[in-house]
Chain A
Amino acid sequence: MANSIKKATRESYGEALAALADENPDIVVLDADLSKSTKTELFQKKAPERFFDCGIAEGNMIGIAAGLAAAGKIPFASSFAMFAAGRAFEQIRNSVGYPHLNVKICATHAGISVGEDGATHQCCEDIGLMRTIPGMVVISPADDVETREAVKAIAAYDGPVYLRLGRLAVERINDPDTYRFEMGKGIQLRDGHDLTIIATGLMVAKALAAADLLQEKGISARVINMHTIKPLDQQLVAKAAQETGLIVTAEEHSIIGGLGEAVCSAVCELCPVPVVRVGVNDVFGSSGPAEKMLDLYGLSAEHIAQQAQLAWSRKK
């Protein structure tokens, strides 16, 4: 299943969006001077008359998107996660979330894997910000295959969506021939009985690698790809808690407000078992190559395995 094809989810997003240009004439795309990085330029090349660069003005871009949606269009608005979910948070809340308009906020360069640009651009708070907005769907795809399917699914869905995408090329973990995306439904990639690793985004691949490391130590880890963080697949989480008795979450996001806390809430309410959160540990990032940054901030297979093993030994 896994192979060596590596691609950034922003790239897959741009290609999927361009592919939708012909299929759906209501789709319009907005950007804020980052189309070459967010890859919306691929849509622009295909349908220049439906692409609008709003300049470096993210708050206005979200408002424009809201107006377009109110007039029946399906706007996809892109910028970096920091400036979409961060800078334009209140516009998203009040102009998109409250009227429940059909706007797709597709934010790239999420998380610490932005790399060299450093802390100002490494948004590790976006999942938390977006999932507090009532009615907002929050999706964080793991690879190329999942991103393409997610883009198709959110285009077909009527309502506001936040799609979290990355800058770094990541390996393909899903099989394009058999993969099926269902909004709000997590995917169990590997079964196990000692503990469950629930991961999202690029951490899914690392969770699978961590499960291999754990297996070498005689620990059987289940792995769940939680591509949709809101609405959370509570049933799948509760089942994992019940059957394995220990949960480890893994996300390229602050341990505050993200997948880890969403899982904690579900576990607490439905089937209380210990949960260990692997993520950015309430600190700002810094400059350096993306992979190095992931290692430095504990977002590696080794770190997940280490934390899992520690929690498992406490559980025994």
Chain B
Amino acid sequence: MESSFKHQLQQTACKVRLGALEAVYSGKSGHPGGSLSVADILTYLYFAQMHVDPQNPRWPERDRFVLSKGHTCPALYTVLALKGFFPMEELKKFRHPGAMLQGHPDMKNIPGIDMSTGSLGQGFSAACGMALAAKLDQKDYRVYAVAGDGEIQEGQIWEAAMFAGHRKLDNLCLIVDNNGLQIDGRVGEICSPYPIAEKFTAFGFHAIEVDGHDFDALEAAFEQAKQTKGKPTVLVAKTIKGKDVSFMSDNVAWHGAAPNEEQYQTAVTDLEKILHSLA
């Protein structure tokens, strides 16, 4: 990847983190930790990978994206706003009564959202259905879905994985945001989903383990996913929950809590420092 482009992506990802925190802070509720861990993955997908048209959100030929871990929508909403699907001002109204930006993604009312999600385990099945539709219609669009590493404790994920492997949905790419934490603690201690890559391999996937914060690595992995024929791909993306905000980093307390004013200022300072260093 060209270093100037990588630089741009890093800057965008930092803005995504700032936007996600602004949304959670303004809404006085939401999920900052997972929004920060998934920010680089979403940035890469929307700014380097997927074909979408903010002027025509329902463009039939577009690549599809399903945030199966729907609670981290503050990051997705920011990506969509930065991309031009709707004004950035909407982020300030996140989770407010009557606002467009609901607590979890709502495909009916939010431009750019391809599937309503929030109840864990369900989004990936819908992504499989979209990939199947593309095959039926002989369309070239690809379908991407992001699941949490806690989310894959849901049985439905494996029902969908069995289906995708069996149907050889090679136009489908699942990314597991492996930040290692869920509400009650470390995923490995609550009910271990490990080893993740081996499980998906057994279900007929091409599995790639990747650093979910390294754009060069993400580029190589997504490229490999595209080239993989006859089977779906899973990227097991190692990430840090609360990434780039000092007091949230790898801290389970920030799964679903909003920062107070002081904490928010500290977080903004942390992120602006990074943004300045990239300028």
Contact = CB atoms under 8 A, between A and B. Distances in A.
B130 interface: yes
4 closest A-B pairs by beta carbon, nearest first, are A67-B129, A63-B125, A71-B133, A60-B159
B122 interface: yes
25 contacts: A50-B136, A55-B163, A55-B166, A59-B121, A59-B122, A60-B159, A63-B126, A64-B129, A64-B163, A67-B66, A67-B128, A67-B129, A67-B132, A68-B129, A68-B133, A71-B129, A71-B133, A72-B133, A75-B129, A90-B119, A91-B156, A95-B116, A99-B108, A99-B115, A100-B108
Given A95-B116, A99-B107, A99-B115, 13 more contacts: A55-B159, A55-B163, A59-B122, A60-B125, A60-B163, A67-B115, A67-B125, A67-B133, A70-B129, A70-B130, A73-B136, A91-B122, A98-B106
Interface string B107-123: 11000001110110111
A63 B60 contact: no
A94 interface: yes
B124 interface: yes
Given A67-B126, A68-B129, A59 B156 contact: yes
Nearest to B60: A72
Nearest to B166: A55
Contacts of A91: 122, 125, 156
B122 A63 contact: yes
B134 interface: yes
A71 to B, nearest CB: 3
B160 interface: yes
B235 interface: no
Nearest to A98: B116
B127 interface: yes
A293 B132 CA distance: 42
Contacts of B45: none
Interface in B142-158: 155-156
Given A94-B119, A99-B116, A57 B133 contact: no
Contacts of B124: 63
A273 interface: no
Contacts of A59: 121-122, 125, 155-156, 159
Contacts of A50: 136
Contact of B125 (A66, A90, A98, A99): A66
Interface string B71-82: 000000000000
B105 to A, nearest CB: 10
B115 A70 contact: yes
Interface residues of B, number: 35
Given A60-B125, A64-B163, A99-B108, A52 B132 contact: yes
Contacts of A75: 129
A62 interface: yes
B134 A71 contact: yes
B162 interface: yes
B163 A68 contact: no
Interface in B44-92: 60, 64, 66
A91 B167 CA distance: 21
A28 interface: yes
Contacts, number: 105
A62 B129 CA distance: 9
Contacts of A49: 136
A65 interface: yes
A54 interface: yes
Contacts of B115: 66-67, 70, 95, 99
A73 B60 CA distance: 12
A98 B160 CA distance: 20
A73 B123 CA distance: 17
Contacts of A62: 125
A244 B263 CA distance: 68
Interface in A135-150: none
A101 to B, nearest CB: 9
B129 A66 contact: yes
B258 to A, nearest CB: 24
B176 to A, nearest CB: 17
B156 A64 contact: no
Contact of B116 (A57, A65, A68, A94): A94
A75 B130 CA distance: 12
A60 B158 CA distance: 9
Nearest to B105: A99
A94 B132 contact: no
A69 B130 CA distance: 8
Interface in A167-217: none
A54 to B, nearest CB: 6
A122 to B, nearest CB: 25
A63 B134 contact: no
B128 A63 contact: yes
Contacts of B64: 71
B125 A95 contact: yes
A28 B136 contact: yes
A95 to B, nearest CB: 5
A139 B64 CA distance: 33
Contacts of A94: 116, 118-119, 122
Nearest to B154: A59
